[in-house]
Structure 1
Amino acid sequence: MELDIMDSKFFNVGLLVVATLIVAKLISVVIMRKSGKRLPPVIKAFPPIIGGLLRFLKGPIIMLKEEYPKLGSVFTLNLVNKNITFLIGPEVSAHFFKASETDLSQQEVYRFNVPTFGPGVVFDVDYTIRQEQFRFFTEALRANKLKSYVDHMVVEAQDYFSKWGDSGEVDLKYELEHLIILTASRCLLGREVRDKLFDDVSALFHDLDNGMLPISVLFPYLPIPAHRRRDRARKKLAEIFSNIIGSRKSSGKCETDMLQCFIDSKYKDGRGTTEGEVTGLLIAALFAGQHTSSITSTWTGAYLLRFKEYLSAVVEEQKTVMKKHGENVDHDVLSEMEVLHRCIKEALRLHPPLIMLLRQSHSDFSVTTLEGKEYDIPKGHIVATSPAFANRLPHIFKDPDSYDPDRFAPGRDEDKAAGQFSYISFGGGRHGCLGEPFAYLQIKAIWSHLLRNFEFDLISPFPEIDWNAMVVGVKGKVMVRYKRRKLVVD
């Protein structure tokens, strides 16, 4: 009897909550209509209240493919108590990329990163401090710094692939993931980690990575095992880097890595970075680059091995570069590899690891579509755009689902023909990816070495997309057969 009464109470409370949400939604719709605003069309979803959430969880790209042809480039999804308005295409996304932080903010939508990155950095500080910390990243990725990083990249690739035999079969995805983390350790985390602590730090980063789950976006502090392992790993990493930073400062040693750049960085008021800030910035840098680079280097290889004409083109480019520079590979030599650059860029167009970019709107703004329709986006909406969808718009890219690196060649320049923000694999505007040059150099350094020293055949089916990952990558293994060779220059 008591259980029946309790069940009845919970049922009544549930009904009250649902009814309150419905009434609140209806009131807001009436108010917005009376205000005369030209609101974007709304995605129809059933059942009420949770239907939008169910469609979103089913897969945002699936939803966009279904709704874009019906609703156009601007539309809203009701997500329980939130509204997400999508801006698809360069004609309507300019405000998304250009708006100031006071108008469209990153902080609210990306605060779920705070437990991973740690306190006092990036999304746990106000915008003025975050801008200064982004300046530290910019300074750590200047051309003179990148040149020293490239030297480390080349050595890591040479050492790693020297352990391969004269022939064999490998999972290319696994091999590239492992090499990327080795390279990142040397360039970003420092010599001490790479030479002495790699296995320990790699295991801790693995726990950090596995603590970033889809549910973490909504409930980053939920007391689940993955989050507890994440928090323990974060604490241990802080201890390791505290010791490294202290040792460097006491010895006066100065290294050529991002760790040293962060140690030497100063805020505008003259204050230096703390050990906690340096650790948090390093973790943020590794998270921003590790997955994206390994995923893109894997897709680059898969497409080259599938389309032999482009494989032949990049091999011929290596011969041309070697004829000019010999065996030397440095920052300037990698910058000359335009054909390889276009092949990487096309793999990124088709498979950007970050499929959704989000902002929180703090003010009303308006957009005009390609067809001339005007829409008012209300304050309070989450505003989104999707590189994975926008990079395949047919009015911008010819045969958008086809792999065609030459679409970026001089004379075609499809990513520029429709104006700014046509190609958004690295975002753009105020919050464009600071690590873009680093990523291209890293992937070029790896594939330059592979193309010069090995012949490959793809022996597994062409890989599928792993939509279930937080950073969308390659599903399953990418098995290749290799044979060692030395590229002959005529």
Structure 2
Amino acid sequence: MDSDPENNKLKLVNVALLIVATLLVAKVVTALFMSGSGKRRLPPKVKQGIPVVGGLLRFLKGPIVMLREEYPKLGSVFTLNLVNRNITFLIGPEVSAHFFKAPEADLSQQEVYQFNVPTFGPGVVFDVDYSIRQEQFRFFTESLRVNKLKGYVDMMVTEAQDYFSKWGDSGEVDLKYELEHLIILTASRCLLGREVRDKLFDDVSALFHDLDNGMLPISVLFPYLPIPAHRRRDLARKKLAQIFANIINSRKKTGSSENDMLQCFIDSKYKDGRPTTEGEVTGLLIAALFAGQHTSSITSTWTGAYLLRHKEEYLSSVVEEQKQLLRKHGNRVDHDVLSEMEVLYRCIKEALRLHPPLIMLMRQSHSDFSVTTQEGKEYDIPKGHIVATSPAFANRLPHIFTEPDKYDPNRFAPGREEDKAAGAFSYISFGGGRHGCLGEPFAYLQIKAIWTHLLRNFELELVSPFPEIDWNAMVVGVKGSVMVRYKRRQLVVD
């Protein structure tokens, strides 16, 4: 053992110099490597403010607030650090094509939507690998084919007639409350089945309410956190599974068959011939109801609020369209008649542009890829990033939509069609590409069926202030009540 202090000191200095030299060489080599053709052009980063947690705090404050602040400064591609994760935002059609078109091996949904698993249940959607998930999406697609939708429309029309028959000759109602309740009734009949609609509606509605309230912002980060809302969610999920198991067994035992999504899922088979299990059927139904219920009720409410706010400009046009259809088809309202309602369709589509219920779409990146902005800047997005886009923000880009904050359904009219002029993925209320919303046709038909009945049978007036956006909800909707004064009428056809 060397006891010479000077010699030991010299050795420490030499070691220190060697470490410094190694770091310098490494840095130079890295710099030389990065300066070549392989240099990564990373997107600009959002300033965090508070170290480590600043990005998370800004995100929790509200993604749209953050996007409004950063987009003018950083452009259409930028990265936000969330403690130990990076989210790279791609805003606008010029940089979003890969987001919507990339195969699952490159950009996947499964990791980022794991928080849905406790609600939907095991063995379905985001709790299975991609090949199984694709087969389950095929079950959804088959349950929403045109021949099925025609039967669903008849149920939608009947539910609307029954529901609004309980209104008096005149009065005031909270339109938001009324539409929420009508749509859960309609969804129960079309999706969950006759047994639920006729006998178990109150029980099942209460259980779905507990499921709904068990999906909180904190659930996205900690879906299994032992809090009361999550415990109620888990208990409700268990009870729903038992209810649907009983219905499925009863149908199979009696050989009965119904025209509803439940029956479609019961009859579905995987490519290897395996039938769906009771648990899978229950999970798929819950996923279908979650995907459609909020979207339809929120969009129905916004559609009504905007029509009643713009009576002369747009409501009159929608009513005139109804008169023309009455002259052509009489009082008949079915799938084909609803499909002719282009003016009403554009009014619904514009409400959805301004207020898409899902304000963020996300994927997990499994490979590096590059994007080029409208200005010609090219950025490399590293493997491992969460990649996100925002319908709520992208749908209001001024270089895509004229006066983007204005309600203007005619922007979708033939000859103008602003959503198509800038290319694919300009309008993304229903997503797009590989993961476009399968329930889009169902949603439009449901909203059309409801508003066709209201427009033909009632004069309506908005008596409360125009509603605000409820940014605090997981599915962004309408804040507060939407009070409407109604008077029953017979639509006159000249």
Same fold (TM over 0.5): yes
Q: Would you say 1:424 and 2:428 are equivalent positions?
A: yes
Q: What is the match of residue 154 of structure 2?
A: 151
Q: Which one of the candidate residues 65, 72, 76 is aligned to 1:73? A: 76
Tell me how far 1:462 sits from its aligned partner: 0.2
Structure 1 CA distance, aligned partners of 2:41 and 2:126?
A: 33
Matches within 5 A, 1:248-259: 248-259=251-262
Q: Would you say 1:193 and 2:210 are equivalent positions?
A: no
Q: Which one of the candidate residues 339, 343, 346 is aligned to 1:342? A: 346
SS in 1 for 2:363: strand
Q: Would you say 1:409 and 2:416 are equivalent positions?
A: no
Q: Provide the TM-score with structure 2 as the length reference.
A: 0.93
Matches within 5 A, 1:109-188: 109-188=112-191
Q: Which one of the candidate residues 436, 440, 456 is aligned to 2:440? A: 436
Q: What is the match of residue 360 of structure 2?
A: 356
Structure 2 CA distance, aligned partners of 1:148 and 1:207?
A: 30
Structure 2 CA distance, aligned partners of 1:251 and 1:328?
A: 34
Structure 2 CA distance, aligned partners of 1:231 and 1:33?
A: 50
Tell me how far 1:33 sits from its aligned partner: 6.1
Q: Deviations over 1:172-225 (max 9, x none)?
A: 000000000000000000000000000000000000000001111111111111
Which residue type is aligned with residue 106 of structure 2?
D
Structure 2 CA distance, aligned partners of 1:33 and 1:177?
A: 56
Q: Would you say 1:384 and 2:413 are equivalent positions?
A: no
Q: Deviations over 1:392-436 (max 9, x none)?
A: 000000000000000000000000000000000000000000000
Q: Which one of the candidate residues 462, 465, 474 is aligned to 2:466? A: 462
Tell me how far 1:249 sits from its aligned partner: 0.5
Which of 386-395 and 53-62 deviates more? Answer: 53-62
Which residue type is aligned with residue 403 of structure 1?
Y
**Once superposed, which parts of structure 1, at least 4 consecutive aligned residues long, lie more than 4 Å away?**
30-35
Q: Deviations over 1:339-377 (max 9, x none)?
A: 000000000000000000000000000000011110000
SS in 1 for 2:153: helix
Structure 1 CA distance, aligned partners of 2:81 and 2:223?
A: 22
Which residue type is aligned with residue 416 of structure 1?
K
Number of residues of Structure 1 aligned to a counterpart in Structure 2: 462
Q: What is the match of residue 48 of structure 2?
A: 45
Q: What is the match of residue 306 of structure 1?
A: 309
Structure 2 CA distance, aligned partners of 1:228 and 1:443?
A: 34
SS in 2 for 1:153: helix
Structure 1 CA distance, aligned partners of 2:292 and 2:165?
A: 25
Q: What is the match of residue 14 of structure 2?
A: none
Q: What is the match of residue 455 of structure 2?
A: 451
Which residue type is aligned with residue 86 of structure 2?
N
Structure 2 CA distance, aligned partners of 1:79 and 1:114?
A: 22
Matches within 5 A, 1:218-233: 218-233=221-236
Query: Structure 1 regions of 5+ residues with no counterpart?
Result: 1-26
Which residue type is aligned with residue 490 of structure 2?
K
Q: Which one of the candidate residues 64, 68, 76 is aligned to 1:61? A: 64
Matches within 5 A, 1:210-359: 210-308=213-311, 309-359=313-363
RMSD: 1.1
Tell me how far 1:51 sits from its aligned partner: 0.7
SS in 2 for 1:115: helix
Structure 2 CA distance, aligned partners of 1:187 and 1:89?
A: 35
Tell me how far 1:58 sits from its aligned partner: 1.1
Q: Would you say 1:479 and 2:483 are equivalent positions?
A: yes
Which residue type is aligned with residue 485 of structure 2?
R
Tell me how far 1:48 sits from its aligned partner: 1.3
SS in 2 for 1:402: coil
Structure 2 CA distance, aligned partners of 1:189 and 1:417?
A: 40
Structure 1 CA distance, aligned partners of 2:295 and 2:320?
A: 27
Tell me how far 1:45 sits from its aligned partner: 1.5
SS in 2 for 1:461: coil
Which residue type is aligned with residue 235 of structure 1?
K
Structure 1 CA distance, aligned partners of 2:242 and 2:57?
A: 41
Q: Deviations over 1:283-336 (max 9, x none)?
A: 000000000100000000000000012000000000000100000000000000
SS in 2 for 1:358: strand
Q: Deviations over 1:85-111 (max 9, x none)?
A: 000000000000000000000000001
SS in 1 for 2:81: strand
Which residue type is aligned with residue 462 of structure 1?
F
Which residue type is aligned with residue 131 of structure 2?
T
Which residue type is aligned with residue 256 of structure 1?
N
Structure 2 CA distance, aligned partners of 1:416 and 1:370?
A: 17
Structure 2 CA distance, aligned partners of 1:180 and 1:352?
A: 17
Query: Structure 2 regions of 5+ residues with no counterpart?
Result: 1-26
Which residue type is aligned with residue 321 of structure 1?
L
SS in 2 for 1:375: strand
Q: What is the match of residue 100 of structure 1?
A: 103
Structure 2 CA distance, aligned partners of 1:224 and 1:73?
A: 38
Tell me how far 1:44 sits from its aligned partner: 0.8
SS in 2 for 1:139: helix
- Highest Rg: 1 or 2? 2
Structure 1 CA distance, aligned partners of 2:447 and 2:54?
A: 41
Q: Deviations over 1:422-453 (max 9, x none)?
A: 00000000000000000000000000000000
Q: Would you say 1:372 and 2:398 are equivalent positions?
A: no
Q: What is the match of residue 8 of structure 1?
A: none
SS in 2 for 1:207: helix
Structure 2 CA distance, aligned partners of 1:205 and 1:316?
A: 39
Structure 1 CA distance, aligned partners of 2:307 and 2:85?
A: 42
Q: Provide the TM-score with structure 1 as the length reference.
A: 0.93
